[in-house]
């Protein structure tokens, strides 16, 4: 048995893997991979996936749910282009690699970027606080959870201009007040489904209002919203499997129950990191991510022993990102608390041996 702590693509429930593979072989007589995306059967899948997103996150009226391609990486460009207004200025919070990526792409499309808060001075090991968001900008962008560094915003950024958020690595892990945002976007492969689809939850009000002269058809969210996310061929496998995963999420108590499970998993692991003399957290206490837990050995002399133990126990994907080092345990929705227990047992056992 494997325990997949990988940062993405994410672990999904075994029943979702099974149902998805069944549909590859037989989706109403054809393979899911060969059916026309215009067929009523697939249109129904797209509509169900969109409505399950709305149900799971309690999305208010006046928002469209889109499944596009290009990953969150293209989302950096798409959000900047679609939110650009007359001032062509935007405020960005820099909390790490992905935020930096978003900043770079906003600049690339001609936005004057004001990085009004950053944690770069301490290698992104905390969430900036006590900042005032600028109000002379078209929009504000931040990254809710920093997949690489293991920090997470614990409340929504206060701003009196439209708010855009990259929620790639914590969407569907906890309740969010969608009404506070103009665009939420997320690559599917961190907590929703297979790579290939990128989820956008877009306030309809913002559509078609960009001031950008450069606006390729695919990058204009209005075109996708007008066509129900079917302007061109959608990523059918990813949408279908995401739909299965959302059905599973809702059948298991929805977001509230998932958030409770995620909290229990995070408490179990952070508690072990805090009490175990061999380990330390890589992140300031109050900013710790519930999804991606970054931690370090106090003494690298224990590295070989620890690595051997978790590898032998079937733990996968625990190596930290090269920019942080140490370890990163990503605990997306489908990771069970039993898997976390396997990891904390190994940490205890290692400490007992010393
Ligand atoms: C992984 C990740 C990205 C990049 O996503 P792609 O879909 O691979 O482009 C962007 N933002 C965050 C927060 C991520 O975790």
Q: Report the alpha-carbon angle 154-175-229, nearest 5.
A: 115
User: Rounded distance, CA 287 to CA 266, Å?
Assistant: 13
Of residues 123, 164, 168, 114, the one with CA closest to residue 142: 164
The answer to whether residues 331 and 266 touch, using CB atoms and an 8 Å cutoff, is: yes
What does the pLDDT look like over 146-200, one tens digit per residue?
999 999 999 999 999 999 999 999 999 999 999 999 999 999 999 999 999 999 9
Specify the pTM.
0.98
Residue 26: Cβ-neighbour burial (10 angstroms; 0-12, 13-18, 19+)? exposed
H/E element, 195 = none
Q: Which atom of ligand 1 is nearest to the CA of 71?
A: 7
User: Rounded distance, CA 354 to CA 342, Å?
Assistant: 19
CA of 231 to the centre of ligand 1 (A): 23
Half-sphere exposure of 52 (CA within 13 A, CB side): 24
| Domains present along the chain, CATH in parentheses | 14-251 (3.40.640.10), 254-353 (3.90.1150.10)
Residue 272 has pLDDT above 90, yes or no: yes
Quick one: average pLDDT of 119-136? 96
Of residues 100, 164, 172, the one with CA closest to residue 133: 164
Query: Could you tell which of 105, 172, 187, 324 is best to mutate to test the pocket of ligand 1, judged by most ligand atoms within 8 Å of the CB?
Result: 187
Long-range contacts of 214-219 (CB under 8 A, 24+ apart): 214/81, 214/109, 214/110, 215/81, 219/74, 219/77, 219/78, 219/81, 219/82
Query: Could you tell which of 169, 289, 294 is best to mutate to test the pocket of ligand 1, judged by most ligand atoms within 8 Å of the CB?
Result: 169
User: Rounded distance, CA 236 to CA 45, Å?
Assistant: 9
User: In the chain, pLDDT over 70 holds for what percent of residues?
Assistant: 100
What does the pLDDT look like over 36-85, one tens digit per residue?
999 999 999 999 999 999 999 999 999 999 999 999 999 999 999 999 99
Phi, psi of 149 (to 5 degrees): -90, -15
* Cβ neighbours, 10 Å, residue 302: 17
Is 166 designated active site?
yes
pLDDT of residue 336: 98
Quick one: average pLDDT of 240-251? 98
Q: Which atom of ligand 1 is nearest to the CA of 187?
A: 7
pLDDT band, very low/low/confident/very high, at 284 (cuts 50, 70, 90): confident
pLDDT band, very low/low/confident/very high, at 118 (cuts 50, 70, 90): very high
pLDDT of residue 167: 98
What does the pLDDT look like over 195-232, one tens digit per residue?
999 999 999 999 999 999 999 999 999 999 999 999 99
Pocket of ligand 1 (CB under 6 A): 8, 71-73, 98, 143, 147, 166, 168-169, 187, 190
CA of 72 to the centre of ligand 1 (A): 5
Alpha helices in the chain (DSSP H): 14-25, 40-57, 71-83, 97-108, 221-226, 236-251, 254-275, 303-312, 337-353
Mean pLDDT in the chain? 97
Nearest CA to ligand 1 atom 14: 168
User: In the chain, pLDDT over 90 holds for what percent of residues?
Assistant: 98
pLDDT band, very low/low/confident/very high, at 238 (cuts 50, 70, 90): very high
Residue 308 has pLDDT above 90, yes or no: yes
Nearest CA to ligand 1 atom 12: 168
Half-sphere exposure of 329 (CA within 13 A, CB side): 30
Of residues 349, 270, 266, 275, the one with CA closest to residue 308: 349
Dihedral sign for Cα atoms in the order 26, 32, 37, 40: positive
Residue 354 has pLDDT above 90, yes or no: no
pLDDT of residue 192: 98
Is 190 designated active site?
yes
CA of 128 to the centre of ligand 1 (A): 20
**What is the per-residue DSSP string for 107-156?**
HHTT-EEEEEEE-GGGTT-S---S----SSSSEEEEESEETTTTEE-SSP
Is 345 designated active site?
no
SS3 38: coil
């Amino acid at each position: 048995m494997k325990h997949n702590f990988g940062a993405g693509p994410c672990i999904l429930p075994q029943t979702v893997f099974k149902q998805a593979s069944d549909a590859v072989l037989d989706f109403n007589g054809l393979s899911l991979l060969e059916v026309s995306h215009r067929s009523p059967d697939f249109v129904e899948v797209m509509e169900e996936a969109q409505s399950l997103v709305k149900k799971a996150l309690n999305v208010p009226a006046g928002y469209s749910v889109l499944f596009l391609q290009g990953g969150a990486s293209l989302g950096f460009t798409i959000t900047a282009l679609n939110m650009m207004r007359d001032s062509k200025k935007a405020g960005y919070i820099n909390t790490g690699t992905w935020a930096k990526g978003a900043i770079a792409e906003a600049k690339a499309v001609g936005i004057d970027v004001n990085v009004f808060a950053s944690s770069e001075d301490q290698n992104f090991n905390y969430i900036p606080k006590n900042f005032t968001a600028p109000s002379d900008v078209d929009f504000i962008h931040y990254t809710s959870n920093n997949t690489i560094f293991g920090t997470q915003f614990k409340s929504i950024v206060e701003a009196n201009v439209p708010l855009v958020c990259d929620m790639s690595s914590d969407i569907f892990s906890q309740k969010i007040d969608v009404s506070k945002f103009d665009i939420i976007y997320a690559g599917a492969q961190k907590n929703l489904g297979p790579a290939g689809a990128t989820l956008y939850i877009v306030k309809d009000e913002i559509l078609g209002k960009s001031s950008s002269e450069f606006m390729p058809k695919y990058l204009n969210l209005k075109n996708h919203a007008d066509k129900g996310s079917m302007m061109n061929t959608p990523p059918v496998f990813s949408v279908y499997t995401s739909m299965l995963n959302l059905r599973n999420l809702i059948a298991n108590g929805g977001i509230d129950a998932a958030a409770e499970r995620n909290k229990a998993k995070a408490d179990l692991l952070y508690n072990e990191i805090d009490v175990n003399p061999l380990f330390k957290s890589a992140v300031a206490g109050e900013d710790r991510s519930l999804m991606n837990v970054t931690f370090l050995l106090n003494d690298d002399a224990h590295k070989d022993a620890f690595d051997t133990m978790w590898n032998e126990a079937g733990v996968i994907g625990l190596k930290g990102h090269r920019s942080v080092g140490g370890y990163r345990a990503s605990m997306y929705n489908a990771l069970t608390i039993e898997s976390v227990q396997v990891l904390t047992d190994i940490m205890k056992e290692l400490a007992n041996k010393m």
